[in-house]
Structure 1
Amino acid sequence: MKKALFKALVKINNAILPSLYKKDPNRLTTLQKAILGYRYWVLMHALD
């Protein structure tokens, strides 16, 4: 159940949130870093 929820969140994130994979993490704003961290956290929980 928990894993299915995170997989659904990953799909929603891919559709809504901006992709930041080509940007330098040191030059991101605080909001962009928060988005990147959230996307990473959700992805890691979906893969467990």
Structure 2
Amino acid sequence: MLSKTFFKILARINKAIIPRYSKRDITQLSKFDQALIAYRYWVTKNSLD
């Protein structure tokens, strides 16, 4: 399993690079945008555990 420190660093990079989707309707996003949301969720979840 990857270390928690790695995920914390990755979360900071994601926050700086990947756009925020909090004010958009998830059902109206493209599949690529939905995949980015899932990726950010996965990284955030692993950095907090």
Moved over 4 A (4+): none
RMSD of equivalent CA atoms: 1.1
User: Where do 1:8-47 residues align within 5 Å?
Assistant: 8-47=9-48
Structure 1, unmatched stretches of 5+, are: none
**% of aligned pairs identical?**
42
CA distance in 2, matches of 1:10, 1:21: 16
Q: What is the CA-CA distance between 1:40 and the residue it aligns to?
A: 0.3
Structure 2, unmatched stretches of 5+, are: none
* TM-score, scaled to structure 1: 0.95
* TM-score, scaled to structure 2: 0.93
